[in-house]
Structure 1
């Protein structure tokens, strides 16, 4: 007997579908599907398209009233815009506003109608954006970035209010992604007056003159959960201290390329519910003072911990790992941590047995690699292992240290950024204890058809491998040109999906 879904159930299902082609195919099923899918597609049209698009602007213009179109004409767009009434109020569906994508799409559309000579483009776009935002009632995600240092960001106060003065078009923002050195200093101060529902905050290229305004914005939030700061050039002390205003809600914290000079970590050591800490390429003049709060007051139990090119206090790191204990799921440690903590492997073996993701730099001193391979079988839930250091002796690792047999049977992804010959790859795959589903190898060490033949054999024999990928990390003096033929590459692609890893932080290793 057929079962009919209610509209509420259908709405719930749609929220989990993000594939563009799938959504497009639903449009033609029936009127109900079309009516439900259109708001989803137009909530964030630029992300689904993956690029700017003048057609989006053309459709947005069709949503304007005759008076609004006339005002655009009087502003300088010397073309009479005749549009049929749209089937849907597309502008009202917009939930994610990407300033730069909309700007680029508008400029492309103006060029397509050959009106660019009559316009001062920047002034026109600001006016056009103001008109569009008056029809937007439900913006939840704001991306306020620029990608041109010569472009001066507009004053956000010109766009704040919608069709009613009592309604601010940005007051319901849940995610704020903003930054760049050319951001108007008024931006943070103005948002702090009415934005208090931000859950995710991502600030890129921030500098000191704005620190008090950004600090006020953080303090005004009622439940900030995730913060990412990238390329902070000053004012860090106030920002870190302001995190204490979110001690009960903050669960994720990420600092990239940040100056912690004369800063203590107490602001986020106080956050009792913090589950993720990521510090990448950060600097401090006194690492022991910076990390001291994690020894004295913190009992944080993390599920994800990342340390890359950041000075550490070994006692603090040990305290964090022990406090996190079996709650820790994802761990990334670079060479600085490994060399500063001789007992790191014993700590991992004793306290971090539930890891599912481990990314680690190998070093050639104190038999570290051998000891790591000895404890790998104890991580019975490990699914992803990423090894970094292309100068290690792969033959020694596979023949003497038994890399293949030492892998836990739970492992599904192995990324070996190593110089490995075709014969050594064959030996490794023949003795691999894990049913790998994804394998990532270094392509810059003379990758050949023989490498791919052994991978195909593993695929036929084990029947688990689904995809392979490549890194390109060897130093210039070790680089060897690949000799893979198109015929062999085509054979592999018929059986195995081929795509390279997308890891924005990998360049720091």
Structure 2
């Protein structure tokens, strides 16, 4: 009875909770819109709140759904470039622009460029086919760039005119072209501050300081005070004093800042760190992430941290100068230093400063990785002081550290959920496969194995890991001539016994990559066993994204 009411629409609040559970599961959400009108009405906003973040879409035609909302004057501007077979249909089932909640300028530009390619191509597939086509397919690069700029500006104008108030806005610019695209929308945003007035999450990632970047930063601290998550990645090797001072003003102007990330800076961060002492931040900020930061010139850590009253997690990801001067600042902090993540790159020798840091953070540390030749000493320290590791890897392996890694995994199975093992060496791969399966926990959220796989070793691993369910399994096999076919073993021990939910497999042989996702017959066979095969890079977890989404 309850189930029939659920599908008939008699329990709308409960239905909405069910649909919200499938947030970002686009395949399931697409199925939901066909249940009935109520399910469709509740599902459509989720499908359209962040369409530019969909990984590997079948096509980019949703952009055309937005362009339907252009006014007549703006439609005329497209006449120099494209012909639309449907000539901008006037009616759509929903006001799709109103649903947009999250925008990332890099992704928007990338999607528009790919859509422009399909518009200009005469050889698109049926799924990619567009109702638009470019009048002259031999457009110069500058003409194509102007067309892309027109589309970008048109989309942002459509969002603004439809009363969108963004929840999340990411401004990401890696090349000259993306700076030009940003300039197209910059004035629009300045003229329409309500568009980003209520943003809760903001990210600024750029590699060159321009006048518009500085103006935009000034605009932010004058108009946006509701940001709860702020990510600021500085341009590397560029003196960023003016921009860093603007960041300090942005921080001080926020009323509910809970998370902040500092990335790619070799400079002191003096103003931005001291701005954390502001009363708004001191009683709201609970997460700080340092990403590729050089602590060598930073001297105000203890002064800033001693004012943070509700700080619950600190994350240090591939940072530098974790030396005695840095540790002295940590020791001067009167509050607990709750280091949850420590990922280390090049360090040189491991000294007592780093040992004191790990010892001080042992009760808090949950995520650890080391891509350094000193991994043996560091693994020993982790085994000695840290028992709550949930995310482990990558770990640089050698003859000694490989066995320390296996011992550590066995010691932390109670908490371990994410395991990343990267071992190109044939001998190390064999040791891993022969000894890993029997020490895995009953359940893993994610496991990534990058190995040179011998099939007999793989069979040993799969047999020994039969008691472990892995939600997301990612395998990269560096094949040798004598390696053999791994799929018969994956089929026997993973597919038939349903030991994973999501699977990705990539094999590299003589420099050529083969992704299981594109082997459609095999993919269908896995689907029959309720295992979803994804593209390798769609299942791959980036540390930056993992920390950002988890904390």
Higher-Rg member (1/2) = 1
Matched, 1:23 2:24: no
- What's the secondary structure of 1:425's corresponding residue? helix
Which residue matches 1:338? 375
Q: Please say if residues 380 and 404 of structure 2, whose CA atoms lie closer than 8 Å, have aligned partners that are also in contact.
A: no
Query: Secondary structure of the equivalent of 1:253?
Result: strand
* Residue 276 to residue 338, structure 1, CA distance change in 2 (3 Å): farther
For 2:133, which of 109, 112, 117 is the aligned residue?
Answer: 112
Aligned to 1:195: 224
- C-alpha spacing 1:481/1:188, structure 2 compared with 1 (3 Å): closer
Say which SS state the counterpart of residue 33 (structure 1) adopts. helix
The answer as to whether partners of 1:177 and 1:201 remain within 8 angstroms in 2 is: yes
Q: What's the CA shift for 1:187?
A: 1.0
Task: State how far apart, in whole Å, the 1-side matches of 2:169 and 2:436 are.
Answer: 47
2:305, 2:491 → 1: CA distance? Answer: 49
Q: Write the distance in 2 (CA, Å) between the matches of 1:217 and 1:99.
A: 20
Residues 241-294 of structure 1: CA distance to partner in whole angstroms, max 9, x if unpaired?
43444344333333333343411443774445444444344334x732123222
Question: How many residues in Structure 1 have an aligned counterpart in Structure 2?
Answer: 488
86-95 vs 489-498, which moves further: 489-498
Q: CA deviation at 1:41?
A: 2.8
CA deviation vs aligned residue, 1:133-163 (integer Å, no higher than 9, x gap): 133232111122345414433273542344x
Partner of 2:203: 177
Where does residue 503 of structure 1 map in the other structure? 541
The Cα shift of 1:172 comes to: 0.1
TM-score, reference length from structure 2: 0.71
**Cα contact 2:368–2:389 (8 A) shared by 1:** yes
Shift of 1:422: 2.9
In structure 1, distance between residues paired with 2:93 and 2:99 = 13
2:162 paired residue number: 135
Give 1:211 deviation, angstroms.
1.4
For the residue of structure 2 that corresponds to 1:299, the secondary structure is coil
Q: Please list the CA deviations of residues 414-452 of structure 1 after superposition, one character each: whole Å capped at 9, or x if unmatched.
A: 544444533333444444585253665552142733544
Q: Is the 8 Å Cα contact of residues 32 and 43 (structure 2) preserved in structure 1? A: yes
Which residue is equivalent to 1:14? 19
Counterpart Cα distance in 2 of 1:119 and 1:41: 29
Give the match's secondary structure for 1:160: helix
Alignment of 1:215-364 (within 5 A): 215-232=248-265, 234=267, 236-245=269-278, 246-264=281-299, 265-266=301-302, 269-270=305-306, 271=308, 273-284=310-321, 287-297=323-333, 298-309=335-346, 317-335=354-372, 338=375, 341=378, 343-348=380-385, 352-364=386-398
What runs of 5+ residues in structure 2 fail to find an aligned partner?
A: 121-131, 545-551
**106-115 or 174-183, which deviates more:** 106-115
SS at match of 1:197: coil
Whole-Å separation in 2 of the counterparts to 1:248 and 1:484: 48
Give the drift of 1:324: 4.7
- Give 1:216 shift: 1.0
Deviations 1:336-387, CA, capped at 9 Å, x for gaps = 6635548414424xxx33333322525547x444444345433241233323
Matches for 1:29-178 after TM superposition, within 5 Å: 29-48=35-54, 55-63=61-69, 68-70=71-73, 73=76, 83-100=89-106, 102=108, 105=112, 108=116, 112=133, 114=135, 121=147, 124=150, 128=154, 129-130=156-157, 132-146=159-173, 148-150=175-177, 151-152=179-180, 153-154=182-183, 156-162=186-192, 168-178=194-204
Cross-structure match for 2:127? none
SS in 1 for 2:264: strand
- Kept after mapping to 2: 8 A contact 1:287/1:312: no
Give the structure-1-normalised TM-score: 0.76
CA positional deviation for 1:196? 1.1
Partner secondary structure for residue 223 of structure 2? coil
> What RMSD in Å do the two structures reach over aligned CA positions?
4.7
Using the alignment, how far apart are the partners of 1:244 and 1:38 within structure 2?
42
Measured against aligned partners, the alpha-carbon deviations of 1:431-483 in whole angstroms (never above 9, x if no partner) come to: 45852536655521427335444444544897635565557799xxxx79999
Change (3 A) 1:465 1:263: same
d(CA) in 1 for partners of 2:282 and 2:408?
36
